[in-house]
Amino acid sequence: MGEAIDQYQGHLPEKLDTGSTQLVAPRRLSNSSVPTSNQSPVDNTILDRPHEDLRVKKLGKGQFGATYVCTEKSTGRQFACKSISKSKIKTKLFKNHAHDIKREIQILKHLNGLPNVVEFMGAYEDVKSVHIVMEFCAGGELLVWIKAKGHYSARTAASIFGAIMNFVDSCHSFGCDAHGYKA
């Protein structure tokens, strides 16, 4: 099994929920990570992908959890998984963050399919964490790109600004602010 995939061992979602904000409850697997003759291959999967077919690498860590890039070995397809620790969001200090996570999932669903917005693939939870699965954007953060490049044309600046304004307009049409999102 992959290095970071161990956090999922034994607690996998019944299904990947893409149709509502309801997070699905995990099911308990046997201690074996290899399917027995009684288990179907799906019993040994995350997001319908076998553990053995995923390479998982931690991208970064934040106040509430970590983000991972998952790569299918057989296809090279990548996706990102933002894992948020339930123990950190259930403290008195952060008591409203459970609602914020549900709201984030609703917003991602609403904005799904818009240009320049990461694709939302689904969300689920296990005993310890809530997981939000999204398209992986390998280009990095816009601010880092701008600083590294140093200067760029007015046309490029206008294109970037237009994309950001379209995103902000989409967020406002849904009644949310865009302060927590990265370009």
158 pLDDT more than 90: yes
Mean pLDDT confidence for 3-24: 34
15 annotated to bind ligand? no
Which residues, at least 6 apart from 141, have a Cβ–Cβ distance to it below 8 Å?
Answer: 182, 183
Place of tokens 């914020």: 100
Q: Domain map of the chain by residue range?
A: 4-138, 140-183
Architecture of the CATH domain 4-138: 2-Layer Sandwich (3.30)
155 pLDDT more than 70: yes
* pLDDT digits 0-9 by tens, 74-124: 888 888 999 998 888 777 666 667 778 888 888 888 888 887 788 998 888
Single out the residue of 164, 123, 158 nearest to residue 141, CA to CA.
164
H, E, C per residue of 125-150: ECCCEEEEEEECCCCCCHHHHHHHHC
* pLDDT digits 0-9 by tens, 29-66: 223 322 233 333 334 445 555 556 778 899 889 888 89
Q: Are 63 and 88 in contact (CB under 8 A)?
A: yes
70 pLDDT more than 90: no
In 117-150, which positions are buried (b, 16+ CB within 10 angstroms) versus exposed (e)? bbebbbbbbbeebbbbbbebeeeeeeeeeeeeee
β pairing state of 26-28 and 129-135: unpaired
The one-letter amino acid at 140: G
pTM here is 0.63
138 pLDDT more than 70: yes
- Which pLDDT score is estimated for 92? 60
Q: Give the chain's mean pLDDT.
A: 70
| φ and ψ of 105, to 5 deg | -65, -45
Q: Rounded to the nearest 5 degrees, what angle is found at the Cα of 135, between the Cα atoms of 131 and 141?
A: 100
Give the ranges where the chain is alpha helix by DSSP (H): 86-89, 97-111, 142-149, 154-173
